[in-house]
Amino acid sequence: MKKMLAVMVAMVACACYMSMDPDMDVTDISYTVQTGDTVWAIAEKYSDAQVKPFNEFVFEIQDRNNLAGKYIMPGDQLVIPLWTRAKK
């Protein structure tokens, strides 16, 4: 239990740190859930456009869409946050 709590705290701290990074931009896109989709599979579709670690990206999708569990239904509209490096 303590280990799980420590991992969660580390993930939140890292997410907060990355969200404050001035060298990163976020663009939200809308995604309509298809039959057979999972949050994990949707994250994999967009993982190439990410600068965040994959597990944080999955967590971010769940957080942005207030997903308490892992279940999503076909037709659901999800917000997918795409974190990219800011162009200089």
d(CA 1, CA 8): 11
Average pLDDT over residues 33-61: 90
Sorting pLDDT into bands at 50, 70 and 90, what band is 13?
very low
> What pLDDT sits at residue 52?
82
pTM above 0.85, yes or no: no
16-42 pLDDT, tens digit each: 444 445 456 788 999 999 999 999 999
Strand 77-85 and strand 24-32: the pairing is antiparallel
Cα 43 to the chain's mean position, in Å? 7
**8 A C-beta contact, residue 78 and residue 65:** yes
Sorting pLDDT into bands at 50, 70 and 90, what band is 73?
very high
